[in-house]
């Protein structure tokens, strides 16, 4: 009977079955290339089956698991799965896409066709063509190319599809913002614990081992804390961009409990970026708020933001206020044009330019030190520290690749900003869209200074956030109804509170009489 049902489904849904089969092959390839033995893969199957069954019964189960793993996987004390860190993430994304294909009618596939999808698709096509890049004269290395391309391009496509299909209602988006905020508060708490309580054994081993040269600075007098992220730069920039989003959510929300939570998260994240000692973070925070000045469509918001932005810049760039605090002095050095670290990056990039003149397509995606022999002309380019996501992409795909990347990134951001500025009418919903756009701007600036854009958890959060902006016009009517109900509950609670207060006063007077 089951066999007949499967055959009938396959016959009626040939396209979906074919796509599911391709997703299954891709997931299997992910496990095999992760270096796992067959026995380990078989052991994982029951866990995967249980997860998928729960996902069919509870539609968002796997999505929340994906978000939690994505946020916590870089934590030093997070239990190891034995897999490369990117593999659990991608397997969950492929499973979510597979489930959406099987239960096609429950997911809004009609929302996929937009400017962001087109932009990511163009980038994925370009990165696919890069498989034929033989600049290093080493032949075509499909495995190395795939390892690089899946993180540089395909991951963006998976994120866009999963967020567009699963965050498809007002209630789910609000729940997502609260869960994101909860994890952000946990990250801030963890950096507070590292600074004032102490590091765990694994964190201490990393800090005084591989992280010593970049995280213990100023002669050992300043430690750059990294919370649950991979390193201090990743944490500082990621939490600064998160702060941008939640401050904007907070000032535009009309529901008081939402407003309070969002503002608490935003302020906590602003504090959290300072222990990271990441100078780019302060520039990211200011760039995100500056972007909001243009998207706010309100002089009441734009004027105060401009004043605060100008005051922050003036205090950091032209005064010594707060210099007694070592973390503030570290942040202030971001405005120093003679900073030694920034100058070293410039020197490195000048060296790169000499090599990259002869490599307009880059040295090839996935070309790292272990793939390029010592006597190869581009060996240095495969091992040199990129120090920036944009420089990393430039090295692998050349001037052509970085131009395509910047164009598609600008295109998807322009489309999202256009939706916020012209399409969305609800002020509070526009605030959510603006917060996500400005956080994306902030993160892109961070990618200019550090290699953080595709790191955990930033890729999922900020590309996923931009995907949500494209969903917002489709749910605006539903959002208005949702907000109306929440405001009615809010007013009812306020009325009851005032009534209770009034009754207590009357009782007090009567008792006095």
Residues for the chain: how many in total? Answer: 513
Please give the radius of gyration of the chain, using alpha carbons only, rounded to the nearest integer.
Answer: 25
pLDDT in tens, the chain (513 residues): 434 544 444 445 555 556 555 655 565 555 555 555 554 555 555 666 666 666 666 668 889 989 999 999 888 887 766 666 777 888 888 888 888 887 777 788 889 989 999 999 999 999 999 999 888 888 888 888 888 888 899 999 999 999 999 999 999 999 999 999 999 999 999 999 999 998 999 999 999 988 888 888 877 778 899 999 989 999 999 999 999 999 999 999 999 999 999 999 999 999 999 898 888 888 899 889 889 988 887 777 777 767 776 777 676 666 676 666 666 666 666 555 555 455 556 666 777 787 788 888 988 888 877 778 878 888 878 777 777 899 899 989 999 999 999 999 999 999 999 999 999 999 999 999 999 999 999 999 999 888 888 888 999 999 999 999 999 999 999 999 999 998 888 888 888 877 777 777 666 666 666
Q: List Cα–Cα distances, 288 to 21, 300, 377, 434, 444, in angstroms.
A: 42, 18, 40, 10, 10
**CA–CA gap between residue 128 and residue 108 (Å, rounded):** 27
Give, to the nearest 10 degrees, the angle between helix 279-295 and helix 232-252. 30
Q: In this structure, what DSSP letter does residue 216 have?
A: E
- pLDDT at residue number 6: 42
Q: Could you report the per-residue pLDDT of 253-288, keeping only the tens digit for each?
A: 999 999 999 999 999 999 999 898 888 888 899 889
Q: Identify the three-state secondary structure at position 223.
A: strand
- pLDDT at residue number 429: 95
Q: Sign of dihedral through CA atoms 10, 16, 21, 24?
A: negative
- pLDDT at residue number 158: 92
- 164 neighbors 93 (Cβ within 8 angstroms): no
* DSSP per-residue string spanning 386-410: --SHHHHHHHHHHHHHHHHHHHHHH
- pLDDT at residue number 428: 93
- pLDDT at residue number 1: 44
This prediction has a pTM of: 0.86
- pLDDT at residue number 100: 82
Residues 6+ apart with CB under 8 A from 495: none
Residue 223 main-chain phi, psi, to 5 deg = -105, 130
Q: Sign of dihedral through CA atoms 32, 36, 37, 39?
A: negative
- pLDDT at residue number 9: 46
Q: Could you report the per-residue pLDDT of 211-257, keeping only the tens digit for each?
A: 888 888 877 778 899 999 989 999 999 999 999 999 999 999 999 99
């Amino acid at each position: 009977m089951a066999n007949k049902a499967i055959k009938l489904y396959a016959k009626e849904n040939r396209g979906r079955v074919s796509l599911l089969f391709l997703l299954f092959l891709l997931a299997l390839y992910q496990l095999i290339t992760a270096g796992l033995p067959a026995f380990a893969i078989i052991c994982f199957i029951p866990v995967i089956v249980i997860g998928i069954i729960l996902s069919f019964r509870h539609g968002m189960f796997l999505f929340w698991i994906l978000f939690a793993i994505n946020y916590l996987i870089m934590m030093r004390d997070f239990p190891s799965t034995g897999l490369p860190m990117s593999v659990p993430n991608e397997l969950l994304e492929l499973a979510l896409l597979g489930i959406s294909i099987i239960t096609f009618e429950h997911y809004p596939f009609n929302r996929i066709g937009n400017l962001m999808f087109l932009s990511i698709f163009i980038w994925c096509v370009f990165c696919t063509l890069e498989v034929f890049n033989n600049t290093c004269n080493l032949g075509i290395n499909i495995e190395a190319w795939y390892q690089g391309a899946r993180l540089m391009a395909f991951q963006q496509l998976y994120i866009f599809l999963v967020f567009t299909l699963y965050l498809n209602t007002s209630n789910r988006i609000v729940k997502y913002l609260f869960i994101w905020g909860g994890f952000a508060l946990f990250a801030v708490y963890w950096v507070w614990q590292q600074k004032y309580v102490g590091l765990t054994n694994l964190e201490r081993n990393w800090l005084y081992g591989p992280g010593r040269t970049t995280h213990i600075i100023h002669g050992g007098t300043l430690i750059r804390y990294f919370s649950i992220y991979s390193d201090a730069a990743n944490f500082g920039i990621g939490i600064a961009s998160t702060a941008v989003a939640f401050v904007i959510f907070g000032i535009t929300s009309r529901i008081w409990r939402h407003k309070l939570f969002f503002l608490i998260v935003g302020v906590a994240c602003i504090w959290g970026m300072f222990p990271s000692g990441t100078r780019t973070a302060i520039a990211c925070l200011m760039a995100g708020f500056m972007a909001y000045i243009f998207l706010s469509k309100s002089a009441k918001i734009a004027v105060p933001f401009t004043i605060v932005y100008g005051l922050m810049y003036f205090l950091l760039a032209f005064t010594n206020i707060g210099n007694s605090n070592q973390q503030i002095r570290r942040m202030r050095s971001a405005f120093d044009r003679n900073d030694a670290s920034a100058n070293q990056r410039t020197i490195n990039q000048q060296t790169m330019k000499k090599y990259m003149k002869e490599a307009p397509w880059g040295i090839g995606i996935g070309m790292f030190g272990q793939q390029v022999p010592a006597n190869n002309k581009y060996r240095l380019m495969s091992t040199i520290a990129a120090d920036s996501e944009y420089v990393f992409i430039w090295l692998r795909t050349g001037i052509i690749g970085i131009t395509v990347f910047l164009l598609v990134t600008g295109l998807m951001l322009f489309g999202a900003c256009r939706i916020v500025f012209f399409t969305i009418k609800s002020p509070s919903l526009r605030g959510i869209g603006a917060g996500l756009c400005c956080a994306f701007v902030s993160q892109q600036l961070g990618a200019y200074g550090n290699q953080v854009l595709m790191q955990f958890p930033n890729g999922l959060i900020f590309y996923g956030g931009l995907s949500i902006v494209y969903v917002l016009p489709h749910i605006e009517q539903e959002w208005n109804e949702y907000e109306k109900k929440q405001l009615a509950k809010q007013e009812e609670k306020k009325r009851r509170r005032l009534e209770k207060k009034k009754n207590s006063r009357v009782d007090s007077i009567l008792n006095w009489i």
